[in-house]
Amino acid sequence: MTVQRFLALMVMLIPVVTAGYGIKLMRDTMFDIINTPFPNLMIQFFVGGFLFAGGIWFFAGFILRRDRRNKRVAEKFQQEQQRENGNAL
């Protein structure tokens, strides 16, 4: 059981680090600092925004899926089959 929790933690660190790097790219854009792989500031900002949104989206989806499985979500966040049948996933 502890190995599974450790692996889950490692999987969750990937989107957190990705979102953090996205914030860094957007911050660097605001201070006119261009990082190496990007040719201009607009591309750097949009890539940073995409990384930030993707990291948050993955993390939020993981939490929502876990809470649905443990029946801890409000009725509006439950899936249609679960609402109709009252069954768990």
Provide the whole-model pTM: 0.80
Question: In this predicted model, which residue has the larger pLDDT, 73 or 41?
Answer: 41
CB atoms under 10 Å from CB of 72, counted, come to 9
Q: pLDDT digit string (tens) for 4-55? A: 989 989 989 999 999 999 999 999 999 999 999 999 999 999 999 999 999 9
Residue 80: pLDDT over 80: no
76 or 86: whose pLDDT is higher? Answer: 76
What lies within 8 Å, CB to CB, of 22 at 6+ separation is 47, 48, 49, 50, 51, 52, 53, 54, 55
